[in-house]
A and B are shown apart, each in its own frame.
Chain A
């Protein structure tokens, strides 16, 4: 508890506060936690931060990351430049391409379009947080198996979008995959195999229909 008291962030909501501490406690304990949460909200609220750097704590892939950033620093910058999570990429910085996609409490968002200070109190998942040691997640493995990439620069973003999709919709159609990934761009043109990989991760495998035919065998 003291950690939160000494590092007051601006928007630790009651909901996320309770999530962190768990709601499975006995009623009395819950009431106590609720009271603290209300106090915290009041303390945090309306406190003006910045423009100079302020301390924030981001929960990235399950671990707290403590940073000092100006309010104008985006979540993408905080991840890449301030804490070494270079998986999410800066490609457009204008919420138009998806390469910076991370998950916020399981939902896909553009980290370039979010202030780092506002990402506090939510579970941030980056592409670095998906594999279990050496074992790739099903989505990551599917991307490898179907070669759903070329230069790979858009890949972390697509992997996050597909991961979020399958959490919400474990058996999407190809159309639903395309819609869920409409906010991700790939310049190398891996489009068909990205859809294929997403479906594979959802349990529907297809083999490549590309043919290599011996020229000599043609009439």
Chain B
């Protein structure tokens, strides 16, 4: 059974991100930067109606615009029922952005507007317009039960109830979705901003009806995705067809407007939770009713009614008697997709909020209540360690007891995730001059995959990470899975370990050098002669596993005169098996926390029920946390090398909003149970949003 070396020099070190120099100089070419000879600009025409029957789309005038080289319909017939504001209708390619803008305005669309519904509450009404004609807006609820929940509640010493809701959250990777696609008779080359080059290749081949061997996809540098960039996408298919029609490469990157509307989001939730416990705080009964929207992707038309709306419940805590009833509602808005730890942040928010309510009812320290009920030993230790680092005992006071008007409070919450991996292949090439290239068809969305590869290879060969030439993001390289579910490090590291270990063994065998590592490297390599050594490897059992916890503590200061919430400190304790790269792990941790702060305080999609449009398809009113909004973030990783590599990109964002919400409730003595916790909602919770106060 393979095992990670005991003496790790670069693995677990603070080795620098290997592609940082390329990124800080502008040398890194992302999909949006790639400019093949003769490239054209591509752009999409989107529906300005939330719901309409499109009967005719006329591209004639668009084709006449100077500089336009191609214009295509999304659907051959030009007929379509659009179901959300922003749905794709047609696309154009031209020699400049301006030519495309002019072409879009010249496209004539005939449409009959239809009744629409964009809000969940409206969609629940009997009289609501149906998103999908032959199905109700609400899916059939799925009920999961265990034990005897009704009886159990009557046996509880303390029972609390609450409503908790979370918004639709938009991924907003800074590089929008998009592709630069070059269609030729010989085949298709695609630079994709993607988390899964193989998924793009598969999509392209299918869409264009080509053999997969004629499709090559690159993604060397990629401006993040957070779960939204898998598969070809409508925009990828349009770019490919434009390229074919124009007989030239087409770069079609979405605008921020497009990105806000059409390429995925985190479903909303509306959770009614009831929780009961014994007098000494042992959880006995849990009941949840949850519904939310995944846009057009949810509701009665979907199998099993999920569309991603369902959340794990009860989250984290094992309760002997439970009932969870969940369903999704379709609305005329962009469909949901996987978003960093899908369903966990809202699950955490609801569960951890009601836990704190229970703690108040039982007059217990919320941390004690958790320690009493958390089944995962690793997390128990994370809580204890985190509490000590954070200063929980010193900072915790009964809710609302902070003197005003700026009230401080603290809260905590937990995460669980899997993050295992498998199935990756890799190749190591050792050259006679001692240079090394490691190739793997994986992706790096900023997560640090390249650095992980470099440090693993460096430790195996006894070299420095800078000496490893890492090449990823090419479907011609040995394949890896898509980068999602926090599986990349756990999938890729073992494959690199295997390829490099085998390469080292082969090098030593071929050259007769007993130990070719480190100082002996160059001498040994020279003995290879003319040809390099190329060795294939693949993921091996024993170097990675699955299942992590994670806890976060939050301290906030709330200005009760203005409702402004300032997060002062977050303490995070996270396990991830063997921490391969300390530097990139730290980056992931603060990344998760800051995204969690956005979810807690600023972000929500706002739809207008009168017109059906999205009101905030931009960064002005869909607000991302800025530098001044970031708190002090204290990060502690628990290294468990015996468990092998486990991914941490998602667990680090799960409990942040829950911890902050608990801290706000602790500060104020009243709870804001709806995210984001804006000044409006804080002041409303304090009863101050009226003239007479």
Contact = CB atoms under 8 A, between A and B. Distances in A.
Q: When A and B assemble into the complex, do they touch directly, with CB atoms less than 8 Å apart?
A: yes
Contacts, number: 213
B28 A96 contact: no
Contact of B620 (A85, A94, A152): A94
A91 B589 contact: no
Nearest to B256: A92
Nearest to B226: A187
B24 A209 contact: no
B411 interface: no
Nearest to B641: A214
A159 B27 CA distance: 14
Interface in B623-668: 624-630, 632-640
Interface string A207-218: 011111111101
A118 interface: no
Given A96-B620, A211-B637, A90 B21 contact: no
A154 B174 contact: yes
Given A72-B98, A87-B26, A159-B24, A215 B640 contact: yes
Contact of B385 (A151, A208, A210, A218): A218
B174 A218 contact: no
Contacts of A159: 24
B9 interface: no
A215 B253 CA distance: 45
Interface string B572-608: 0001000100111111111111110000000000000
Contacts of A105: none
Contact of A212 (B12, B26, B226, B633): B12
Nearest to B223: A153
B591 to A, nearest CB: 4
B203 interface: no
A41 interface: no
Contacts of A177: 627
Contact of B30 (A147, A153, A185): A153
Interface string A131-144: 10000100010011
Contact of A218 (B381, B590, B618, B635): B381
Contacts of B140: none
Contacts of B594: 189, 191
A215 B380 CA distance: 12
Contacts of B635: 209-211
Given A128-B26, A215-B639, A147 B590 contact: no
Residue of A86, A128, A156, A178 with most partner-chain B CB within 10 A: A86
Contacts of A181: 626-627
Contact of A77 (B23, B97, B174): B97
A151 B223 contact: yes
Residue of B32, B381, B632 with most partner-chain A CB within 10 A: B32
Interface residues of B, number: 78
A191 B587 contact: no
Interface in A71-103: 72-73, 77, 80-81, 84-94, 96-97, 99
Contacts of B592: 189
Contacts of B253: 90
B17 A136 contact: no
B598 to A, nearest CB: 9
Contacts of B584: 147
Given A86-B33, A211-B636, A195 B223 contact: no
B224 A188 contact: yes
A58 interface: no
B21 A92 contact: no
A70 B67 CA distance: 13
A165 B526 CA distance: 50
Nearest to B378: A215
A72 B206 CA distance: 39
A130 interface: yes
A86 to B, nearest CB: 4
Given A190-B590, A194-B627, A81 B620 contact: no
B587 A190 contact: yes
A218 B380 CA distance: 11
| Range class of the A interface residue count | 35 or more
Nearest to B594: A189
Interface in A14-36: none
B630 A192 contact: yes
Given A97-B619, A182-B626, A143 B20 contact: yes
B12 to A, nearest CB: 7
Contacts of A210: 582, 585-586, 589, 635-637
A178 B33 CA distance: 28
A171 interface: no
Nearest to B23: A152
Interface string A154-189: 111001000000000000000001110110111111
A122 to B, nearest CB: 20
A211 B571 CA distance: 12
Contacts of B446: 149-153, 188
B12 A182 contact: no
B16 A189 contact: no
B510 interface: no
Interface string B466-486: 000000000000000000000
Contacts of A90: 32, 253
B625 A191 contact: yes
A213 B590 contact: no
A190 B97 CA distance: 31
Contacts of A209: 634-635
A147 B446 CA distance: 11
A150 B444 CA distance: 9
A144 B634 CA distance: 21
Given A87-B26, A131-B25, A187 B224 contact: yes
Contacts of B26: 85-88, 126-128, 156
B82 to A, nearest CB: 24
Contacts of A216: 640
A155 B590 contact: no
Interface in B23-52: 23-30, 32-33, 35, 41
Nearest to B640: A215
B97 A189 contact: no
A180 to B, nearest CB: 9
B576 to A, nearest CB: 10
Residue of B223, B579, B620 with most partner-chain A CB within 10 A: B223
A80 B584 CA distance: 30
B636 A185 contact: no
A42 B33 CA distance: 40
A107 interface: no
Contacts of B583: 147, 208
Nearest to A87: B26
The 3 closest A-B pairs by CB, nearest first: A87-B26, A151-B446, A152-B23
12 contacts: A86-B29, A96-B618, A136-B25, A143-B24, A144-B21, A151-B173, A153-B173, A153-B223, A153-B224, A153-B446, A187-B173, A215-B639
Interface of A: 70, 72-73, 77, 80-81, 84-94, 96-97, 99, 126-128, 130-131, 136, 140, 143-145, 147, 149-156, 159, 177-179, 181-182, 184-195, 208-216, 218
Given A191-B594, A210-B636, 4 more contacts: A159-B24, A178-B627, A208-B14, A214-B639
